[in-house]
Amino acid sequence: MSDKPGMGQFILVVRKDLFLSFQAKLVLSRLSDSLIAIREQFEWPGTILGGGEPAIVCYFKTDNHAKKILKEVSNSLYSWVQPDLPEDLSFMKGNNLWLVNTSHESESYFVTEEKEELEEILGIRNIKIKQK
């Protein structure tokens, strides 16, 4: 996660129908200083629930405090799965999606047309790229 301007915010999702570990609750508590909003939603980037209870989607500022915690807690996008951690860590720039992550499916994608960003993404070691 770079310190580039415009990184904006990120989300974490808590499914009400799944157990949430003490560690996951602690992560959310530690991130509270960066919290923007909490909303109940049936959909979020990469996921649409087919019914049942809505999930709790937490919106956070991508500030230095939050980045430090995210880096300490996990070194993999796909470890953000309940019960161990909140789900689907995804990032936005302003109101636009930037990195969408569906953790339990081990699937992520970037939304960008900026050449410099694309070159940086393509340069990430061990990343598998499928281009549209």
Residue pair 63/71 in contact (Cβ under 8 Å)? The answer is no
Mean pLDDT of 92-114: 84
Decide which of 129 and 59 is more confident. Answer: 59
- The pLDDT tens digits for 17-72 are 999 999 999 999 999 999 999 999 999 988 999 888 999 999 999 999 999 999 99
Residue 57's H or E segment, with its range, is strand 55-61
Position 4 confidence tier, pLDDT thresholds 50, 70, 90: very low
**Residue 93: predicted pLDDT:** 86
Mean pLDDT of 6-24: 91
* CA atoms of 69 and 66, how far apart (whole Å): 5
Average pLDDT, the chain: 87
Q: Which residue blocks in 40-81 are alpha helix, DSSP H?
A: 64-73
Residues recorded for the chain: 132
Least confident piece of the model among 12-21, 51-60, 80-89, 110-119: 110-119
Phi, psi for 7 (deg, rounded to 5):
-70, -25
State the pTM of this model: 0.83
Give yes or no for residue 11 having a pLDDT over 90. Answer: yes
**Residue 49: predicted pLDDT:** 92
If 0-12 CB within 10 Å is exposed, 13-18 middle and 19+ buried, where does residue 6 land? exposed
